[in-house]
Structure formats: C-alpha cells, structure tokens
Structure 1
Amino acid sequence: MAAATAIPIAAQADTGSSGGGACTWATEMSPRTLDRINVAYPDTNAWYWIMPYDIGPDTTLTIKGRFPDARYISFNTYDSNRANFTNGAASALADYRITPDAGSVNPWQQTSAPGGDYTITVRPDTHASDPNVLPLAPAGVTSGKGYLIYRMYMPAQTPDSSSLPQVTVTTKGVAHTYGSCVENSGGLRTQLLRGIQTLAEFVPGKMPSGTDFVRVAGAGAFPNGDNAYLVAGATRPADGKVVVVHAKAPTVPAGSSPSVWPRPGTDVRYFSLCNNESSVLGPVVYNPQPVGTADTGCRADSETRLDTAGFYTYVIADESQRAAVEAIPGATFVPWSAQHPGSTHILMLRNMLPADGFDSAIQRVAPGASAADTAARLGEYYPRSTVCDLNAVTTGTCA
C-alpha cells in the first residue's frame, strides 16, 4: 500500500448493516503479511488496514480509537474507484489534524504520551470546518462501495487486532459495532487470490525505466496524499560492482513515538528508500535469511546512516556484500533481490508530510518533470545514482 499508489487489493469482507458475520479491518498489509502479500511497491515500515463499506444516504461510520505509539497515522476514505475525493471536506485526515475527545490529548498537537481517545465520523454531509469528519462518498453518489483505510508508520510495538479502532456502522437508525478479523490468515489468503484476479486494474502505471530519479504521480488505487515519490530504474551491475545513491537527507522526528507537528527544524515526517522488483505485482525485495527472518529492500530514515554533513549513501549490493558495505562509515546497505538478481529493479524514495518551509521536498516537484528540472528544484536533496566498484565506495573515490 504504498508506493505511488498504495494498496491495490481491497478487502473482500463486507460491513453492511446486517451484522451477519461482518467485521472491520479484514485486510491487513504490513511487515507480518509480507510473505503472503507483497504487491504495489510496499514500504516495509508501514501498516495498512482496509475496510470496505456500503454507501447510503443515511449511512454513517463512527470510528473510536486511541492515539497509538507510532511515528504517523491517518484515516482516508476512497470512492469505488479507490481514489481520493472531496465532498465538503477532504477524504483524508492525518494524525495532527485529529481533535481528541474531551479530557484527552492528541500527542501530535501537544506534548503528551500516546493513549488519548478520539472519535471520527464518516458521513454523507460534510463541511471543511467540521473537526474529525470524513466524507462517505463523492457528491451525488448514494450507493455502491466505499473504502476506509487506517495507516500507521513506524509503530513502537507490533500492533495487534485489539488495538485497532472500533467501527460502528449506522444505517437507517440501526447501529452495529464490528470486531476485527485481521487475525484470520485463511481469509487473508482468500482475499489475496480474489484481488489478484482484478489486480491489473489497480497496479500503478508503468514506472520510469531510466536511472535518473523523477517524480511519479500518486495515480492508481488508494493513494496516500501525505506521500510523494521519486523513482529510478536500476539493474544489478556485473563484476561485483554496486549502485550508489547519494544526497542530503531531510531532517525527521526522532524515534517511533508521536511528536508535535509541525515541528521547528524538522523537514518531513518520514522518508525511506525502497528497492523493488519491476513486475506486474510491484513487490519489494524480500530475501529470506537462514535464521528465519527476511531482509527487505526498504530502509527507513531511522535505519539510514548519515555522514557529518547530513548526507546519506545508500549502497545497493548483494547480500554477500553486506558486511563490507556496513563497514563503510556513513553507508547504508540495501539488497538486490536474491531470487531474481538479474531483473530490473525500481528504486523509490519517499517523503511524507513536508514542513511548509521545506522547499526541497519531493512534493515541490511537478509530477512528470524531467530529471534535470527535478535536480534543479531539489538541489543537494536530489538523489544521484552511480555504478562503482565497492572498493571505490570504501575509499571515498566513487563519483
């Protein structure tokens, strides 16, 4: 759910008003489901829960939850085409814009520990001035399907189903409160198979194949409007050479807990670089390890090493070269696919929620702008890729 489009597979469980076995958050895409669902260029530091709902002129959703211990959360509603929309209010609500319940504190609004309560309403009639309200559907749409997505980046602890927000669906005055069924792995597999049947509709448009980074638009299914992306094509070099990506890093909040936003001296809420295989499913690199874990192609800002001037150096290399790369001061190892090392890869750099004064955010680049214009706009924050001998990276002579 991630990349230029976010998740392409919608939940198959229904949440109509009958209450007959329905549940919320039936589809989860996260690090713990990556071995089963690895599509649409996911960021492996992000968690997504999807809930479809029936649109009706007298239908409302009430979301009650607690502010989690995480870097970022948001709620979005989408139309039947899996697209953002505006109907009085925008269909996206980021953490720092959520008004807490009476007696509670939003830790993205003022310094506080996580755990305060909030209530969000999804309804047909909305106004931009209404706090904690999302539109149910575009203007004039009174039937069909809509989608609610709850996003979380960099949780301090692994989320469980009991911590997810509670959703009450009210139709014609009758309210039903639904439990979560995200633990149903069998259902998850069924949803995946069903989703693949129509996946071509939701996969992002063709990614640029050039080796220079350019911005792609957030077209496709379930876009997260808080993110913007630069992408570049990459192919594993021969003779043990590596691909090096170098630029200045934007400043970010420290750690995985909420902090007041906007935050003076902080450029973006989050950034990452991910290495993905270029295929119809758009999987992120996923290399199982002998100890039972997996090394993925994503490196969040918290996993990115910087030099004394605040520049990163990502080194895309084989797993066998990892120790050598990690011995280089300021270098961050990113793996090629061990299963398909010869395939074309897509490097994707994300920026989330830029501060108003940060003029070198990816969001400031027009989608489709040339690499030269993008580099001119971003300056030292523009990522430049080079093929080098690993020894040249070690000695600092890779240019």
Structure 2
Amino acid sequence: MKNTFKLNIVLTAVLTSVGLTACGGGSDDNSTVTVQPEQPSALTDCMWQNSFSSKSGTGEDPLNIAFPDSNVNYWSSEFAVPEGAKVTIDGDYPYSRHFSLVSYTAEGLRVNSLLDSTIAPNKGSVNPFIPGNKRLDKSRSYTAQLELGELPENPVENTLYAPKTEGNKVAMLYRVYVPNKNMDEKGNASFPRFKVQLANGEVKTGNDACNVLQVKRTPIQKTTTISEATSLALFNQQLHEGFPAQQIPTWYKAFSGVDNIKCIYKFDPVTKKPIDKCEGQPVTPKLNYWATPDNEYVFAMTSRRLGKVMELRGKLPPTVKTLNNDPLFEKTDVRYWSICSNELITTATNYCLYDEQIKNVDKDGFYTIVASLPEDRPANATEACGVNYLQLSPRGSGYMGEDGKAVGHGDLGIFIMRNLLPDPEFKQAVQNVKAWGEEKTVMGDYLPDMKYTSKEDFEAKGCN
C-alpha cells in the first residue's frame, strides 16, 4: 500500500483548537479578565473545521502534521463560491497576539493574508492590533470581502483575495496566536461569519450560507512532495554518523518544499543528483503547503547520536507582550517568536517555547536553551539556574518501523524557529535571509548558536 506523509519540510506554522498546552504558557499572574464579545445574530461556525493540531505532541495524532506551532490555534474552511455571488465576512478582533485569514490554492500554496493590523474596524470599533491602540476595548468588530481573482499590486482595503479556479473553489485557514490568559482558544471572539449575496440579490447567512457555499465538512487534507518510501530511501543514505543531521549543527532558512528536501538530504529531487552542501544552491523564495505569508522560518537538523543534549544561546528579539491581558499594543521588532522540536518524517510538532515563555535572559539579553529527552536533562537546566528547557522529540523522526532503528530515526530531531511580522526596521529578521549560508550574517545574535554537549558536561557549569 502506498503510504505518503507530508514530507514537504516547508516548516509551516499551523495549529487547530488548543490553548497553550504543549508549551505550558502559564504565568504567575493570577489575575482574571472576563471580556465577552457581543453575540452575532447569524453565526456561521459551520464554515470552520478543526485543522492541524499539535495538542497531542506526537506524530501518532493524524492531525499533527505540517509542523504546527503549539501556541497557535488553527481552523480550516474549503468551499465553492456560486458564480456571480458576493461573499462578506463579519468578524471580531480576538483578544490575542495575532490573527489572520489566509487564502490558498488547492495545493496549499499561500496566496493572500488578511492581516489583523491592516483590517479597518467598523465605525465605533477599535483595531487592537495597531501599535498604541487599546487591546481590551469591547468594541472590536470588522467587515471584509472575499474577492476571487489575482492579487493586485495595490489590494483593496479589507479584502481577502483568493485565486479564481474552476468551480470557484476556495481554501483558507483562520489562525489565532496566543489568546490572552483566561480566554478561550479563539481569543473570546466568535468565528468569522460569512454572508453570501447571490447573483439574483438573495442573501444567505448562517447555515444557509454554509449550504450555498457547499462547505467541506472535513479538515484540509495532507499534501505531499515525496512519498514515504522516497524519504526513507534518502534517509538511508547515511552519508555520515547522525545523517541527515549536520555534524556541526547549522541553521538554514526554509524555502520551497523541494528546496528544503534538497538541503536536508543533500539530494536534488529535480535533477536526481546529490549535492555537497546547501550553501550556494539556488532557492525558490516561496513557501507552500499551508504556510502563512506572515511567518518565515529557519530549521536545524540534530541527532542524539552526535550528542544527547543540545545547548542553544541567542538573543531574543523584542516582541509584543499580550498573554497577561496587557492593555496596549506596542511597537516591537517582531510580533511573535518561537522555537519548536519536531518529527521530520511525520512533520509533527512535539514541544515549543515562545517569546513570553523565555523567562531567563542574562544582562546582555541572551537566553540559554537546553534541549534533550527528559532522562538526559541536566539537573541545572532549570529556570532557577537561568536556563530554559525544551524537550526533544521522544519519537525521533516519527518513523517507528523496525528498519528505522539502525539508521537513527529514533535519534533524529529538527528545530524550527519562527519570526512573525518583523518591523521593517529590524534587519536581523529571518525574512531578510535570501540564500542559504547567509543566515548568521543577516541575523547575527538573533540566530542562536548551537552545540552538542552531554548531561555531565552541562552540569559541570553549575547553577548561575
């Protein structure tokens, strides 16, 4: 039986309805804020399906695919717009770090993002995602349009563009990043609500809108760049100990799925020829397979065969503080930052740390993260000792076949680090890396240094 996994290695950032479970997300602040949105008159929750999720933290979960971020909630919608119809989207800005509606091609190629900060509010409402604005104002509604056609050079305000296809089929994802503390997974806002005006002028809302749009009642399906058999064959090359991990751990920016496969496995799936290194290879600056246009990523392959403990040291870019119901939206270098451990073959996410969970930085603004399996965790890899801890994948690459043990599937790991919506003046963002090999030059201290170590060697450093 041909079994394919989503091995696009496109490092997307998608997640369904979870809170801050996989990464903790807790705080010592016990304050409670109860802010409820106004009840809409015509809900269209029927438009939305639970999508990719890392709630389980394991690739055993069939929805834990496409490298979801554990601090983000995701829902999908696939439907068909009747010819000549106009689609309106009514929504409420969630109480969260970020939200967006993103349209895609049927193959998952990102097309357009209706980005929170660019959505003009309804009269009397406030957009809480604009720097300087109040985040907790109760008047927070907006109205947008769905337009089928090419994305213009100058998009119309409050318009989400989706590609014109046969049958007018549309695929979109709704993302909510880091809901405020004590609020639900949608950030105490209802789902975006759809209204359809047919060509004859008739208006459909609620369940009638879902019916006329022929909404698909299942989550967005997996897509694949290469088959499981091909990915296992590439893995089995075992060009060196720990392959496909770099013996000197190295970050690479994520480009297209084909590019990333080429870099990881040192094999070009187009030319069918091996490559010596990623640096200098041509790349396509286009992430696909349900990636968000608002994020860019770097990834690094690791193997416990090269060292059971990873030590990372880097600088955290200033980010917006939102979890504890902060009252104002601030201007910062990056909207959101995270680092996650993942399974290469299944593309599952295991554990993540995001910016507000990095509790310890030194006087120069540097953090230290230790990553390992629980049994290898150094005794001083604790907050009390100034160290942030990230657990590695307990399933390695996620491939659990007996034939995978000898070649190191159980030892492999992949780190993914995200930068969301950097300020244009922040030149050290992932977004400014244009080719493999220039990651450190561009990002400087904001790209963490990595090294293999051991439990004993790290414990020898003591507790700061």
Same-fold call, TM > 0.5? yes
- The Cα offsets for residues 357-392 of structure 1, whole Å up to 9 and x where unpaired, read as 1110011101x412xx21112112222210113344
- SS across alignment from 2:411: coil
1:276 aligns with 2:303: no
Q: CA deviation at 1:327?
A: 5.1
1:166 aligns with 2:166: no
1:26 aligns with 2:64: no
In the superposition, relative to structure 1, how do residues 114 and 61 fare at CA in structure 2: closer, same or farther (>3 Å)?
Answer: farther
Q: 2: distance between equivalents of 1:325 and 1:123?
A: 51
Sequence identity of aligned pairs in percent?
Answer: 25
Q: 1: distance between equivalents of 2:162 and 2:410?
A: 45
Corresponding residue to 1:255 among 313, 322, 344: 322
Q: 2: distance between equivalents of 1:212 and 1:47?
A: 29
Residue number in structure 2 paired with 1:334: 390
- The Cα offsets for residues 247-293 of structure 1, whole Å up to 9 and x where unpaired, read as 111111113258766x44x21000000000111x20112xxxxxxxx
* Structure with more strand by fraction: 1
1:111 corresponds to which letter in structure 2?
K
In the superposition, relative to structure 1, how do residues 48 and 201 fare at CA in structure 2: closer, same or farther (>3 Å)?
Answer: farther
Q: CA deviation at 1:350?
A: 0.4
Residue number in structure 1 paired with 2:433: 365
2:315 corresponds to which letter in structure 1?
K
Rg comparison, structure with higher value: 2
Q: CA deviation at 1:97?
A: 0.6
- The Cα offsets for residues 55-86 of structure 1, whole Å up to 9 and x where unpaired, read as 4541332211111110000111122232233x
- SS across alignment from 1:37: coil
1:149 aligns with 2:205: no
In the superposition, relative to structure 1, how do residues 8 and 389 fare at CA in structure 2: closer, same or farther (>3 Å)?
Answer: closer
Q: 1: distance between equivalents of 2:90 and 2:390?
A: 39
In the superposition, relative to structure 1, how do residues 191 and 343 fare at CA in structure 2: closer, same or farther (>3 Å)?
Answer: farther
Q: 2: distance between equivalents of 1:84 and 1:75?
A: 11
Q: CA deviation at 1:326?
A: 1.2
- SS across alignment from 2:356: helix
- The Cα offsets for residues 205-236 of structure 1, whole Å up to 9 and x where unpaired, read as 99974320010125221221111111010112
Which runs of 5 or more residues in structure 2 are unaligned? 1-5, 17-43, 209-215, 236-243, 256-285, 397-408
In the superposition, relative to structure 1, how do residues 147 and 322 fare at CA in structure 2: closer, same or farther (>3 Å)?
Answer: farther
- SS across alignment from 1:43: coil
Deviates most, 41-50 or 215-224: 215-224
Q: CA deviation at 1:202?
A: 11
Deviates most, 354-363 or 144-153: 144-153
1:249-328, aligned counterparts within 5 Å?
Answer: 249-256=316-323, 257=325, 263-264=330-331, 266-279=332-345, 281-285=346-350, 297-304=351-358, 305-320=360-375, 321=377, 324-326=380-382
1:36-55, aligned counterparts within 5 Å?
Answer: 37-55=63-81
- SS across alignment from 1:278: coil
Normalised by the length of structure 1, the TM-score is 0.77
1:169-208, aligned counterparts within 5 Å?
Answer: 169-172=196-199, 173-178=201-206, 191=218, 195-196=221-222, 199=224
Q: CA deviation at 1:325?
A: 1.3
- The Cα offsets for residues 290-315 of structure 1, whole Å up to 9 and x where unpaired, read as xxxxxxx1111111232222112111
CA-based RMSD = 3.6
Residue number in structure 2 paired with 1:378: 443
Q: CA deviation at 1:7?
A: 5.0
1:4 aligns with 2:30: no
- SS across alignment from 1:146: strand
Deviates most, 39-48 or 150-159: 150-159
- The Cα offsets for residues 332-360 of structure 1, whole Å up to 9 and x where unpaired, read as 11112234482311100100000111110
CA contact (8 A) 1:60 1:124 kept: no
Corresponding residue to 1:97 among 118, 125, 133: 118
Normalised by the length of structure 2, the TM-score is 0.67
In the superposition, relative to structure 1, how do residues 234 and 32 fare at CA in structure 2: closer, same or farther (>3 Å)?
Answer: closer
Q: 1: distance between equivalents of 2:367 and 2:174?
A: 31
1:212 corresponds to which letter in structure 2?
T
- The Cα offsets for residues 131-182 of structure 1, whole Å up to 9 and x where unpaired, read as 20112324xx4634211221110012222697212122333233332359xx
2:252 corresponds to which letter in structure 1?
V
Residue number in structure 2 paired with 1:75: 101
Deviates most, 60-69 or 334-343: 334-343
Kindly tell me the number of residue pairs found equivalent between the two proteins. 351
Residue number in structure 2 paired with 1:108: 129
